[in-house]
Amino acid sequence: MSHRFRHLLAIEPLSREQIVFLLDQAKPFQEFQRYPLKKLATLRGKTIALTFFENSTRTRISFATAASRLGADQMNLQAEASSVKKGESLSDTVRTLEAMRPDAIVIRHSSSGAAEFVSRRVDVPVINAGDGTHEHPTQALLDALTIRDRRGHLDGIRITMIGDILHSRVARSNIHLLSKFGAHMTLCGPAMWLPRELASLAPNIRCVPCIEEALDGADAIMALRIQQERMHEPSISAEDYILQYQLTPSRVKLARRNAIVLHPGPMIRGLEIDPAVADSPQSCILEQVTNGLAIRMAILFELVAGSADPQDHAKDSSHAAD
């Protein structure tokens, strides 16, 4: 079967084989991050349009750095300083950008489905950098790469996700991805952020309101950001959240002895996660950031460079560094 992609809009429609292909494509770019010279010419002469209609720090920087390390130029659009603020439609904005001939468009938008909407209106590859509460596919891929590196595989792992599941596109993309590997997923959080319908997203999901029960036997634990900006329902006080759901050292001990801890960031220390957990040897949070670069380089490489071999380019850089 073909692993080639035209766009990367979501994890849900991807096959297990396509996901493994993308994770494998990221391996040489993981090695590349360790080289003293971190610049390839793979996408020299290409231009990546970074269109962020929603605030972002780490995802924007990660994509910009990935494009730069592949040698690509960038076009940057920030909604606060764009014609969107003057009333221009999303369709007209991206078609105007396309007229400047970028080779790919990376888009983040507060509306679910925005990336697919754009992909139907332009003739260049579109990468979803997060759309509303729908999906965040590159985050799920970098999470999967991190779990696979630490655990050795993804098949049948037991993962517990804690916190604001309802508003989390990260959780949805991870659920779609890990379900293709037979993962057992436990979702835990306050009742208003844990509707029972979430259990129907994929097989092997259970919703558990008690964090102590949710963590029992977990191979991996993912704390999620509390997304105040998306909330329309009554929230929970910080004091109650800390008491009932903060990931603390004593609670981590309820999981398997070598369980790993993930957080997509930005994390709120002292609320979602105890600093002692965030900085523990079990924490993979900074590895996730580094792996985000490798995954985004692999995706840009795949969508823009075509059929070249990423291993060859990494070797070329290694020789240059020597």
* Residue 108 designated active-site: yes
- 121 assigned to active site: no
Catalytic residue selected from 136, 158, 167, 251: 136
Q: At residue 194, what is the residue type?
A: L
86 given a catalytic annotation: yes
65: tokens are 């750095």
Q: What angle do CA 202, 148, 210 make, to 5 degrees?
A: 50
Distance CA 73, CA 93 (A): 20
| Cis before 36? omega within 30 | no
Distance CA 217, CA 219 (A): 7
Encoding tokens for residue 268?
A: 């709120």
CA distances from 176 to 22, 112, 132, 203, 269 (A): 15, 16, 16, 10, 28
Place of tokens 């979430």: 198
Q: Taking a C-beta distance cutoff of 8 angstroms, is the pair 297, 26 a contact?
A: yes
Based on the residue annotation, tell me whether 58 is a catalytic residue of this protein: yes
Structure-token pair, residue 228: 């105040």
The two most distant CA atoms of the chain are separated, in Å, by 58
* From 58, 150, 230, 256, the catalytic residue: 58
Cβ pair 317, 39 in contact under 8 A:
yes
Q: Just list the catalytic residues.
A: 58-59, 86, 108, 136
